[in-house]
Amino acid sequence: MSDAAQDLRAIFLSAVDAVAGNAAVKKELATNAYPEKFHIVAIGKAADSMVQGVPAGRIISGLVISKHGHFSQLLQQSSVLTCLESDHPIPKENSLKAGKALIQTLENLPEKEPVLFLISGGASALVEVLQDGWDLEQLQNLTDYLLANAYPINEINTVRRHISSCKSGGVWSHISERDVSCLMISDVPDDDPVIIGSGLLFPTKENTLPELPQQWLGKLGEYIPNKVPDNFSWKIVACLDDAKKAAAVKAEALGYKVKIMPEFLQGDTSNEAKKCVRALQENKGILRIWGGETTVKLPANAGKGGRNQHLALAAAIEMDGFENAHLLAAGTDGSDGMTTATGAVVDGLTVQYGNQQKLKASEFLKRADSNSFFKDTGSLITTGATGTNVMDLVIGIYN
């Protein structure tokens, strides 16, 4: 691995560490006024880490819901916490079980005692309570359709709010009068709390649905917002901008000239990859840092990969033959699509290296099978669950 590739990995890991859930929650609780003790409800891919940021002596009881494989032994062995593993990105039976557990937990809380919600990305799929007229198979089919056809996260969560009775503030109908606080790690554009976890505690007046086949539109009823009580406070404790700034600090410490790119990467993954490579070409010698969440429209019989690996492969094709060009694309949550990798780091020789092994990069890209290509080129980034989730980072340099 080249020095530049190692540096990009180090910069990425430093950014991820800077937005870790445990540190962010610990800092917030130590800095600002919250009840001395409270019940905890933590939901999301960073739920375990966020709970670890709460001093044990302040937790009366807790329900923690996260993705399979995202729990530490520390939380699982706790006598005051109930830990439930659930399903992501496609909701399954465990998602409905988690939704039922959430409602039961809220309704059984002792009267007047405060509750602290800890919400992070992934909550939309991990917890669900369906409205009448919907079943799990219909939910899965709709979710499959939205993901396969590259709907952006805000549109996906808009649809989810129309079929869920717990989202868009739906949980308020199960919370009796008490002080409620919410700390969040944002995985959505503009850090909009209505979109994070489909707004479990945040109603929206928005009632406009994205374009959908009639079979789905006919089933989606009118959205009716819930009311939020006055004794509710919330704060975002970690976000994409925090990660980008931390990446820049690490890059400068390694001796790079750095530019944080203000534009949000979104839309078609391959197109965004090309834009990133063009930007690297235009100003050589400057390390650039992007953030966002792109989308991949999957072909029939798609291979194995994720949006970050797909972006990295598209970038590798675009910068084929560029000497001293390097790019990393990775998800801050530690997972990318239905793979164990979270992204990949490529350079101007990646495509040629694949050719030597009879791997044609363009064919792997066409069938959305980037993970298979990178497994044989040593380009994958694998971190495991990171304890955070602030979308994706793309970092590149062309000397």
Work out the percent of the chain whose per-residue pLDDT is above 70.
98
382 residue type, one letter: T
Two tokens, residue 52: 């670890």
- What pLDDT does 278 receive? 97
The packing angle between helices 269-282 and 307-318, to 10°, is 50
Residues 6 or more apart in contact with residue 370 via CB below 8 angstroms: 303, 304, 305, 306, 309, 310, 312, 313, 344, 364
Q: What is the mean pLDDT of residues 235-245?
A: 98
Q: Partners of 105 in the beta sheet?
A: none
Burial string for 52-63 (b: 16+ CB within 10 Å, else e) reads bbbeeeebbbbb
Residue 44 main-chain phi, psi, to 5 deg? 140, 175
Burial string for 179-196 (b: 16+ CB within 10 Å, else e) reads bbbbbbbbbbbebebbbb
**This prediction's pTM:** 0.92
The packing angle between helices 3-18 and 240-253, to 10°, is 140
Residue 224, pLDDT above cutoff 70: no
- What pLDDT does 69 receive? 87
Q: Partners of 387 in the beta sheet?
A: none
Q: Which residue has the higher pLDDT, 41 or 231?
A: 41
- Residue labelled with tokens 């890059």: 251
The packing angle between helices 153-163 and 136-148, to 10°, is 160
For 319-368, where are the alpha helices, taking DSSP H only?
350-356, 361-366
- What pLDDT does 223 receive? 62
Contact 64, 46 (CB under 8 A): no
Q: Partners of 259 in the beta sheet?
A: 288
Contact 218, 187 (CB under 8 A): no
Rounded CA gap, 311 and 273, in Å? 5
Residue 304, pLDDT above cutoff 90: yes
How many Cα atoms sit within 13 Å of 214 on the Cβ side? 0
User: Band of the pLDDT at 222, cuts 50, 70, 90?
Assistant: low
User: Band of the pLDDT at 32, cuts 50, 70, 90?
Assistant: very high
- What pLDDT does 376 receive? 86
DSSP string, 185-252: E--SGGG-TTTGGGTTT------PPPP--HHHHTT-----PPPPPSSEEEEEEE-HHHHHHHHHHHHH
Q: List Cβ<8 Å contacts ≥24 apart for 106-113.
A: 106/41, 106/171, 106/174, 106/175, 107/174, 109/39, 109/175, 109/176, 109/178, 111/176, 111/178, 112/177, 112/178, 113/38, 113/39, 113/60, 113/178
DSSP string, 49-112: HHHHTS-GGGEEEEEEEEETT---HHHHT-SSEEEEEE--SS--HHHHHHHHHHHHHHHTSPTT
User: Band of the pLDDT at 65, cuts 50, 70, 90?
Assistant: very high
User: Band of the pLDDT at 1, cuts 50, 70, 90?
Assistant: low
CB-count exposure of residue 122 (10 Å: 0-12, 13-18, 19+): buried
Mean pLDDT score across all residues of the chain: 94
Q: What is the mean pLDDT of residues 330-339?
A: 94
Residue 119 main-chain phi, psi, to 5 deg? -115, 135
41 residue type, one letter: V
User: Band of the pLDDT at 2, cuts 50, 70, 90?
Assistant: confident
- What pLDDT does 80 receive? 97
Domains along the chain with CATH numbers: 3-15+241-398 (3.40.1480.10), 20-238 (3.40.50.10180)
In tens, the pLDDT along 162-218 reads: 889 999 899 999 999 999 999 999 999 999 998 899 889 998 876 678 899 888 887
- What pLDDT does 154 receive? 82
User: Band of the pLDDT at 227, cuts 50, 70, 90?
Assistant: confident
**Among 235, 241, 130, 151, residue whose Cα is nearest residue 193:** 235
- What pLDDT does 216 receive? 84
Rounded CA gap, 264 and 273, in Å? 13
Rounded CA gap, 264 and 11, in Å? 19
Q: What is the mean pLDDT of residues 225-232?
A: 84
- What pLDDT does 162 receive? 86
